[in-house]
Amino acid sequence: MTKLFSFLFILIFLKLNFAFSESLITSIEKYWNDINSMTGQFKQIDNDGSIQYGNFYLKKPHKSLFEYSDQEEKILTTKFFLHIINQKHFIIDSYPIGSSPIKFLFLENLNLQKHFDVISYDTADHITVELSENSEIDNSEKITLYFDKETLDLKKWEIFNEFGEKTSLEFTNILKNISISPDKFVIHYNNTNE
């Protein structure tokens, strides 16, 4: 009888925990999908411990820009590519976004469970959501998102590449649903827009 009670308790606990996780995911999706644009500041911590600061701009769908405070480099994403732009020497390296987690985060309507394998759990200070690609490849990219418990504001993300190297970005002074000039997301080649 005791074993049966314990088993039933575990089943109920797991069911409630799953429902709680589902509720968290739904709340985060609704909050994120209500955002059309976003700006703010970021602190980037690379895998080797080096730190950089800058400003970011996001405009759905697909567009984001990360400008570093040293003004030498910026990162621009579009629907299909991630561009690393060295402004000092004007060198542009472009990489297909493919199925990177970032690609799905910048969709107009985010559906976490459609595009990712999701593990979510609640902590004392924030809601943490771990995402990995819906892929059989073990070394695919992964991303962990940290949301404020009360406001659901995105506070931080951690991206793990296929080699397990981590890049963290912490976000502050966020403004949502404001006008951002389309020119922010244009690459200028020799003073000519492309």
Phi, psi of 134 (to 5 degrees): -75, 80
pLDDT of residue 10: 34
Residue 58, classed as helix, strand or coil, is strand
R_g (Cα) of the chain, nearest Å: 19
Question: Percentage of the chain with pLDDT > 70?
Answer: 78
What pairing do the DSSP bridges indicate for beta strands 166-176 and 37-45?
Answer: antiparallel
State the Cα–Cα distance between residues 86 and 141, nearest whole angstrom: 24
Which residues lie closer than 8 Å to 154 by C-beta, 6 or more apart?
32, 145, 146, 147, 171, 174
What whole-number distance in Å separates Cα of residue 188 and Cα of residue 194? 6
Q: pTM for the complete prediction?
A: 0.80
Average confidence (pLDDT) over 133-145: 69
- The ranges assigned to domains in the chain are 2-188
Q: What is the CATH number of domain 2-188?
A: 2.50.20.10
Q: Is the pLDDT of residue 15 over 50?
A: no
Mean pLDDT (whole number) for 120-148: 75
Of residues 178 and 105, the one with the higher pLDDT is 178
Q: Tell me: the pLDDT tens digits for 85-103? A: 998 888 899 988 876 777 7
Q: DSSP label at 87?
A: T
Query: pLDDT tens digit string along 56-96?
Result: 999 999 999 999 998 788 999 998 999 999 988 888 999 88
Q: How far apart are CA 100 and CA 18, in angstroms?
A: 26
